[in-house]
Structure 1
Amino acid sequence: MRSHRLGILVAALWWGGITGLSFLAVPVLFAQLGSPAVAGPVAAKLFSLQCYAGLVLGVLLLMVLRRGNEQGGRPDGPTLTTLGIVLFAMLLALMQEFGVAPHIVSARASGGSLRLWHGMGTAMVFGQWLCAGVVLWRLSRAAASTPA
């Protein structure tokens, strides 16, 4: 039962962090600083930090899910699905940080396709947000169905 609670806490931190940064902090940053040239590098740093936080929280979730497996052997189907969702979100974070983010920076400097790369980065962050939300939902639903 303790691992369910820890898993829910970690998933909530992950989902809440992405929510707060992507839907609140970054839009406020652009609105208050006024210039995309000023706000962009700050937002990029925040998204980079979010990536690393997501990777750490993802690893913690993998450990919690693996340890919380009551069977002691192979994880059951729902646990495997949740593990896969966590791994997919972590892959999106890595692709965003090391694949897309450098292209955003170079497109801004060289006049490349900023719209394309920014759209891809946005889609990857949104994918991470969805994955973290699904994991949170699955863990909280599983915790609600187990006796206290």
Structure 2
Amino acid sequence: MKSRLSIVLAALWWGSLTGLGFLVVPMLFTHLPSPAAAGAMAAKLFTAQTWLSIGCTMLLLLVLNKKEAPALSPSAQAAMKFIVTGLLLAVLVEFGVAPRIVSARANGGSLQLWHGLGSAMYLGQWLAAGWTLWSLSRVQPPQGY
């Protein structure tokens, strides 16, 4: 049961990052009348995505807790570091980079630098979520083989 729940959580995390970052936000910039309107909407969506990521990663950490599952599979052990990395990246983007993007936009600061850093960190979170999903969904051979 716990392995299925962990796969569902990892899939939700990775799928939401994929849908938002590679489909929804590019469509906003294509279809909304101005880049400013698209950017404002994208910022709200990225904030919602951050909270979804935090929820998925925290639940994954609870589900894969060694105290709860003493015989943690090697793939689940490997996934733990990527879950923590994704969680840290989500928090850093939301509370470290996003406010600087808003400030740079309002004050004429280095918007390109902060936007690039935020994009790189989002990509890192996407890779961490993907690796987590990949490692948790690996089929384990039956016992005794």
Provide the rounded CA distance (Å) in 1 between the counterparts of 2:3 and 2:46. Answer: 28
DSSP-derived class of the 1:52 partner:
helix
In structure 1, runs of 5+ residues without a counterpart are: none
Q: Look up the match of 2:20.
A: 21
Cα deviation digits, residues 53-89 of structure 1 (max 9, x gap) = 1000001100111166343xxx576433311110111
Q: Look up the match of 1:7.
A: 6
Sequence identity, in percent? 52
Among 134, 140, 145, the alignment partner of 1:145 is 140
Pair 1:65–1:146, CA change in 2 (3 A): farther
1:52 aligned partner, one-letter code: W
Deviation of 1:146 (Å): 4.5
Query: Mapping of 1:46-85 within 5 angstroms?
Result: 46-66=45-65, 69-71=69-71, 78-85=75-82
**Bigger helix fraction:** 1
1:31 aligned partner, one-letter code: T
Cα deviation digits, residues 19-63 of structure 1 (max 9, x gap) = 000000000011000311111111001001100110000011001
What is the TM-score when the length of structure 2 is the normalising length?
0.91
Among 84, 96, 99, the alignment partner of 1:102 is 99
Measured on the aligned residues, the alpha-carbon RMSD in Å equals: 1.6
Count the aligned residue pairs. 141
Provide the rounded CA distance (Å) in 2 between the counterparts of 1:129 and 1:136. Answer: 11
What is the TM-score when the length of structure 1 is the normalising length?
0.89
Cα deviation digits, residues 1-35 of structure 1 (max 9, x gap) = x1111110000000000000000000001100031
